[in-house]
Amino acid sequence: MDDKFTLFNLKVEVVGTDQPMVCRHKEGDYFLVIGEDLIFPETNSFSMYALSAILPLLPAKQRPLHANDWMLSDSLIACPDPNCGARFKITRIGTKEFSHAECTIEPIHKGDQP
Protein backbone atom coordinates (compact mmCIF):
# COMPACT_ATOMS: atom_id res chain seq x y z
CA MET A 1 0.00 0.00 0.00
CA ASP A 2 1.23 3.46 -0.89
CA ASP A 3 1.90 5.42 2.28
CA LYS A 4 3.33 8.52 0.61
CA PHE A 5 2.29 12.08 1.39
CA THR A 6 3.58 15.43 0.21
CA LEU A 7 4.51 18.53 2.17
CA PHE A 8 5.51 21.97 0.95
CA ASN A 9 9.10 23.04 1.60
CA LEU A 10 9.27 26.49 3.14
CA LYS A 11 11.63 29.44 3.16
CA VAL A 12 11.42 31.87 6.08
CA GLU A 13 13.20 35.14 5.31
CA VAL A 14 13.86 38.29 7.31
CA VAL A 15 12.32 41.32 5.59
CA GLY A 16 12.50 44.91 6.69
CA THR A 17 9.86 47.57 7.09
CA ASP A 18 10.08 51.34 7.46
CA GLN A 19 10.54 50.75 11.21
CA PRO A 20 14.12 49.93 12.32
CA MET A 21 15.03 46.46 13.53
CA VAL A 22 16.10 46.57 17.16
CA CYS A 23 17.07 42.90 17.33
CA ARG A 24 20.05 41.51 15.46
CA HIS A 25 18.05 40.36 12.43
CA LYS A 26 19.60 41.00 9.04
CA GLU A 27 17.40 41.53 6.02
CA GLY A 28 17.75 38.54 3.71
CA ASP A 29 18.69 36.06 6.44
CA TYR A 30 16.64 32.93 6.04
CA PHE A 31 16.14 29.32 6.97
CA LEU A 32 14.42 26.47 5.18
CA VAL A 33 11.83 24.02 6.47
CA ILE A 34 11.93 20.58 4.88
CA GLY A 35 9.81 17.98 6.62
CA GLU A 36 10.57 18.31 10.31
CA ASP A 37 13.97 19.91 9.73
CA LEU A 38 14.91 23.57 10.06
CA ILE A 39 17.92 24.19 7.81
CA PHE A 40 20.16 27.25 8.14
CA PRO A 41 22.30 27.11 4.99
CA GLU A 42 23.91 30.53 5.40
CA THR A 43 22.52 32.12 8.57
CA ASN A 44 24.68 31.42 11.63
CA SER A 45 22.24 32.68 14.23
CA PHE A 46 18.53 33.31 14.49
CA SER A 47 16.60 34.91 17.34
CA MET A 48 14.88 32.30 19.53
CA TYR A 49 12.16 34.84 20.32
CA ALA A 50 11.43 35.39 16.63
CA LEU A 51 11.57 31.64 16.08
CA SER A 52 8.98 31.15 18.84
CA ALA A 53 6.57 33.43 16.96
CA ILE A 54 7.13 31.65 13.64
CA LEU A 55 7.09 28.00 14.73
CA PRO A 56 3.32 27.55 15.26
CA LEU A 57 2.58 28.45 11.64
CA LEU A 58 5.12 26.20 9.95
CA PRO A 59 3.29 22.84 10.09
CA ALA A 60 0.15 24.48 8.67
CA LYS A 61 2.08 26.22 5.89
CA GLN A 62 3.62 22.87 4.94
CA ARG A 63 0.18 21.40 4.20
CA PRO A 64 -2.57 22.12 1.66
CA LEU A 65 -5.06 24.59 3.14
CA HIS A 66 -8.60 25.67 2.33
CA ALA A 67 -8.67 28.68 -0.01
CA ASN A 68 -10.52 30.70 2.66
CA ASP A 69 -8.16 29.77 5.47
CA TRP A 70 -6.28 32.79 6.84
CA MET A 71 -3.24 30.58 7.32
CA LEU A 72 -2.97 30.44 3.52
CA SER A 73 -3.17 34.21 2.92
CA ASP A 74 -1.14 35.41 5.90
CA SER A 75 2.57 34.86 5.34
CA LEU A 76 4.21 37.80 7.08
CA ILE A 77 4.98 37.31 10.78
CA ALA A 78 5.99 40.21 13.03
CA CYS A 79 8.91 40.05 15.42
CA PRO A 80 7.50 39.55 18.96
CA ASP A 81 9.48 42.63 20.11
CA PRO A 82 6.88 45.41 19.60
CA ASN A 83 9.68 47.94 18.97
CA CYS A 84 11.29 45.89 16.21
CA GLY A 85 10.38 46.44 12.58
CA ALA A 86 11.46 43.01 11.35
CA ARG A 87 9.02 40.73 9.60
CA PHE A 88 9.50 37.11 8.65
CA LYS A 89 8.10 36.06 5.30
CA ILE A 90 7.08 32.43 4.83
CA THR A 91 7.18 31.23 1.21
CA ARG A 92 6.39 27.81 -0.22
CA ILE A 93 9.33 26.74 -2.38
CA GLY A 94 8.36 23.35 -3.78
CA THR A 95 7.36 20.04 -2.33
CA LYS A 96 8.88 16.86 -0.99
CA GLU A 97 7.33 13.43 -0.71
CA PHE A 98 7.49 11.51 2.56
CA SER A 99 6.57 8.01 3.70
CA HIS A 100 4.17 7.63 6.64
CA ALA A 101 6.15 4.63 7.90
CA GLU A 102 9.37 6.66 7.95
CA CYS A 103 7.72 9.37 10.08
CA THR A 104 5.82 7.37 12.69
CA ILE A 105 5.15 3.85 13.98
CA GLU A 106 1.45 4.66 14.35
CA PRO A 107 -0.85 3.02 11.75
CA ILE A 108 -2.33 5.14 8.97
CA HIS A 109 -5.58 6.77 10.14
CA LYS A 110 -8.60 4.89 8.76
CA GLY A 111 -11.50 6.65 10.48
CA ASP A 112 -13.63 9.55 9.36
CA GLN A 113 -12.03 12.96 9.43
CA PRO A 114 -13.22 14.98 12.38
Site for Zn ion, rule CB under 5 A: 23, 79, 81, 84, 86
Q: Which is nearer to Zn ion, 7 or 79 (CB)?
A: 79
Strands 4-15 and 76-78 turn out to be unpaired
Q: What is the closest distance, in whole angstroms, from the C-beta atom of residue 53 to Zn ion in the complex?
A: 9
Separation between Cα atoms, residue 11 and residue 110, nearest integer Å? 32
Query: What dihedral do alpha carbons 85, 78, 92, 43 form, nearest 10°?
Result: 60
Q: What is the closest distance, in whole angstroms, from the C-beta atom of residue 14 to Zn ion in the complex?
A: 9
* Contacts of residue 84, Cβ cutoff 8 Å, sequence gap at least 6: 19, 20, 21, 22, 23, 25
Q: What is the closest distance, in whole angstroms, from the C-beta atom of residue 91 to Zn ion in the complex?
A: 19
Q: Which is nearer to Zn ion, 10 or 79 (CB)?
A: 79
Q: Which is nearer to Zn ion, 10 or 86 (CB)?
A: 86
